[in-house]
Amino acid sequence: MTIQEEVKKRKTFAIISHPDAGKTTLTEKLLLFGNLIRSAGTVKGKKSGKFATSDWMEIEKQRGISVTSSVMNFPYKGHQVNILDTPGHEDFSEDTYRTLTAVDSVVMIIDATKGIEAQTIKLFKVCRMRGIPIFTFINKLDREGRQPLELLEEIEQVLNIETYPMNWPVGMGKRFLGIFNRFDKNFVKYNGNEEETYIAYDELDKPEHKELVEHPTYQETVEELELLDEAGDLFSLDAVLAGEQTPVFFGSALAPFGVQTFFDTFISMAPAPVPRKTTEGVMSPDNPDFSGFIFKIQANMNPAHRDRVAFLRVCSGKFERGMNVKLARTEKTIKLSQSQQFVASSRDTIEEAYAGDIIGIYDPNAYRIGDTLIEGKDQFEYDELPQFPPEQFKRVTAKNVMKSKQFKKGIEQLVQEGAIQLLKGYRTETYILGAVGELQYEVFEYRMKNEYNVEVMFESIGERIPRWLKEEQVDETIFDERSMLVRGREGEPIVLFKSDFALRWFKDKHPDIDLIDLLDVN
């Protein structure tokens, strides 16, 4: 097979959702389709600890969670599927955001009983910022939830994206009869079990479907559907691929219902790897020379060896185990002899990979997040990974002042690795750590102790809303505890607002000061 054919087959995506919306349940169904697991419950056992077979980090064992966002890959109907897991719950961290830089599309799960929730908004914004196509699965139709039209409106208003319902549910909860598949023009009947009956639109008037068609819920839905056809947005694959329209699928991951149709349609529409921007122009995934970038570094996967694994997204050419590549930042040559592919929690050696694939490579302490690796004579780097705004802030000091040298070294390295963000006082050398999730502090504390032998102390500043501002607009007298002035990693001024209210109050009072939100997409 040529490189071009290999690349065309690849579908690399992440599933994003708020905790409990059904990501694990849906992922498990997809793994069943891919024959990666044989029975339901294999993945779902996470709460009972079955899932946590990996012992990459002691912390994982202690908390019974998987810190590592793993990659699952399997062949499906002529495609090669790569699913990147984005950790949710308390293990939400900057890694969750960074994972989104390595995918070509995203599946967003929304719980029909709850609508859009906080974590979904954050992840969605990152997708929008990067123009990643988003496919929506509205889950838990087997429960009494919110009205479908209301849910679509919420997506459009809160997330500011056009929606196109690919299917339309007939009733929900106990009255759930099935879905109209607007795209394939058939009705999928819910039989209350895993079986799905497909009835083509033009066969619905047959006598055997009389009971269904005369059902009041069905009748109501037909009217709704007509309205949708007349007044709703038109489907546009171009708009979907540009990240401007999201195809919406209703279903139930648990039943399961509508999952197969969703996945088949998604796989047929989701983009294969596309050209990516570099410092020297755009790089095509079909280019014969291998290249890729590192989006995550996992340290201490095996504490006995202190090994580090860098997660690399292949962007062009063919990766072959043992090949020599150049690290663009230092122009040094590195031999990639140890490479792994991740299948759920196990690691297998991988011999070759193409654009879209994610591989784990042994890190001899040489890589940084965002690093570009290239084969051949060219010299370029992939776009720098964006900086994501932290949400929580803590001052940090070493318990033992005698250890300040190791303390500084540890912080420097962990920050460089992207484990956590470092800010400083505006006029002082106070160290402030910024994170998007509490887990980042726990990992930081653990690693400082285990790798640098330094015990640290935190003093919480609390949750804050950070806004970047221009140095020339800084007037130090206007900031106070509710709008704390600090410096970012490049020394740039940042204001940490105590609340939405404090932010609005400040804006009213100082309308001339430009406050920049890193996640602002509009």
Choose which of 254, 272, 456, 515 interacts with ligand G4P (CB under 6 A).
254
Contact 199, 156 (CB under 8 A): no
Neighbours of 346 (CB within 10 A): 11
In the structure encoding, which two tokens stand for residue 286, read together? 């079909």
Contact 344, 401 (CB under 8 A): no
Least distance in angstroms from the C-beta of 345 to ligand G4P: 16
DSSP state of 92: -
Q: Which residue's CB is nearer to ligand G4P, number 140 or number 403?
A: 140
Look at residues 372, 290, 296, 283 and name the one whose alpha carbon lies nearest to residue 323.
290
Choose which of 19, 232, 271, 275 interacts with ligand G4P (CB under 6 A).
19
Task: Work out whether strand 245-250 and strand 196-200 pair parallel, antiparallel, or are unpaired.
Answer: unpaired
Binding window for ligand G4P (CB under 6 A); candidates: 139-147, 204-212, 400-408, 438-446: 139-147
Least distance in angstroms from the C-beta of 97 to ligand G4P: 17
Residue 253 in the binding site for ligand G4P (CB under 6 A): yes
Q: Which residue's CB is nearer to ligand G4P, number 168 or number 506?
A: 168
Least distance in angstroms from the C-beta of 509 to ligand G4P: 41
In the structure encoding, which two tokens stand for residue 25, read together? 């349940």
**How many amino acids of this chain bind ligand G4P (CB under 6 A)?**
19
The verdict on whether residue 79 carries a ligand-binding annotation is: no
In the structure encoding, which two tokens stand for residue 217, read together? 């819920």
Rounded to whole angstroms, what are the CA distances from 217 to 75, 112, 172, 174, 175?
39, 18, 10, 12, 8
Least distance in angstroms from the C-beta of 89 to ligand G4P: 7
The verdict on whether residue 169 carries a ligand-binding annotation is: no
Choose which of 98, 140, 182, 394 interacts with ligand G4P (CB under 6 A).
140
DSSP helix, strand, coil percent of the chain (3-state; round to 5): 30, 30, 40
Contact 275, 284 (CB under 8 A): yes
Q: Report 77-96 residues binding ligand G4P (CB under 6 A).
A: 88
Choose which of 10, 14, 16, 25 interacts with ligand G4P (CB under 6 A).
25
The verdict on whether residue 233 carries a ligand-binding annotation is: no
**Beta-ladder partners of 10:** 80
Least distance in angstroms from the C-beta of 512 to ligand G4P: 44
Q: DSSP letters of 217-238?
A: HHHHHHHHHHHHHHHSPPP-HH
Choose which of 82, 252, 291, 316 interacts with ligand G4P (CB under 6 A).
252
Residue 142 in the binding site for ligand G4P (CB under 6 A): yes
In the structure encoding, which two tokens stand for residue 447, read together? 């690693």
Local structure of 151: helix, strand or coil? helix
Q: Which residue's CB is nearer to ligand G4P, number 71 or number 254?
A: 254
Contact 433, 394 (CB under 8 A): yes
Look at residues 359, 284, 422, 318 and name the one whose alpha carbon lies nearest to residue 102.
359
Contact 8, 272 (CB under 8 A): yes
Look at residues 163, 88, 101 and name the one whose alpha carbon lies nearest to residue 132.
101
Residue 488 in the binding site for ligand G4P (CB under 6 A): no
In the structure encoding, which two tokens stand for residue 70, read together? 């793993």
Binding window for ligand G4P (CB under 6 A); candidates: 193-201, 251-259, 352-360, 406-414: 251-259
Choose which of 14, 21, 81, 419 interacts with ligand G4P (CB under 6 A).
21
Residue 132 in the binding site for ligand G4P (CB under 6 A): no
Residue 396 in the binding site for ligand G4P (CB under 6 A): no
Q: Which residue's CB is nearer to ligand G4P, number 173 or number 288?
A: 173
Instruction: Give the Cα separation of 347 and 102 in Å (integer).
Output: 19
Q: Which residue's CB is nearer to ligand G4P, number 172 or number 484?
A: 172
- The length of the chain is 522
Instruction: Give the Cα separation of 464 and 137 in Å (integer).
Output: 31
Q: Which residue's CB is nearer to ligand G4P, number 30 or number 132?
A: 30
Least distance in angstroms from the C-beta of 290 to ligand G4P: 34
Residue 17 in the binding site for ligand G4P (CB under 6 A): yes
The verdict on whether residue 258 carries a ligand-binding annotation is: no
Residue 143 in the binding site for ligand G4P (CB under 6 A): yes
The verdict on whether residue 88 carries a ligand-binding annotation is: yes
**Beta-ladder partners of 118:** none
Backbone angles phi, psi at 214, to 5 degrees: -90, -5
**Residue 332 C-alpha from the chain's centroid:** 31
Q: Which residue's CB is nearer to ligand G4P, number 69 or number 139?
A: 139
Instruction: Annotate each residue in 43-72 with x if it binds ligand G4P (CB under 6 A) or - if it does not, as one string.
Output: -x--x-------------------------
Binding window for ligand G4P (CB under 6 A); candidates: 18-26, 166-174, 216-224, 274-282: 18-26
Neighbours of 282 (CB within 10 A): 9
| 424: CB partners within 8 A, 6+ apart | 430, 431, 432, 486, 487
Q: Which residue's CB is nearer to ligand G4P, number 143 or number 318?
A: 143
Q: Which residue's CB is nearer to ligand G4P, number 103 or number 138?
A: 138
Residue 24 in the binding site for ligand G4P (CB under 6 A): yes
Choose which of 22, 148, 247, 390 interacts with ligand G4P (CB under 6 A).
22
Instruction: Give the Cα separation of 483 and 429 in Å (integer).
Output: 19
For the chain, state the CA radius of gyration: 25
Least distance in angstroms from the C-beta of 51 to ligand G4P: 10
Binding window for ligand G4P (CB under 6 A); candidates: 137-145, 354-362, 379-387, 408-416: 137-145
Instruction: Give the Cα separation of 83 and 374 in Å (integer).
Output: 24
Applying CB under 6 A, which residues contact ligand G4P?
17, 19-25, 44, 47, 88, 139-140, 142-143, 252-255
Point out the annotated binding site.
17-24, 85-89, 139-142
Question: Residues marked as binding for GTP?
Answer: 17-24, 85-89, 139-142
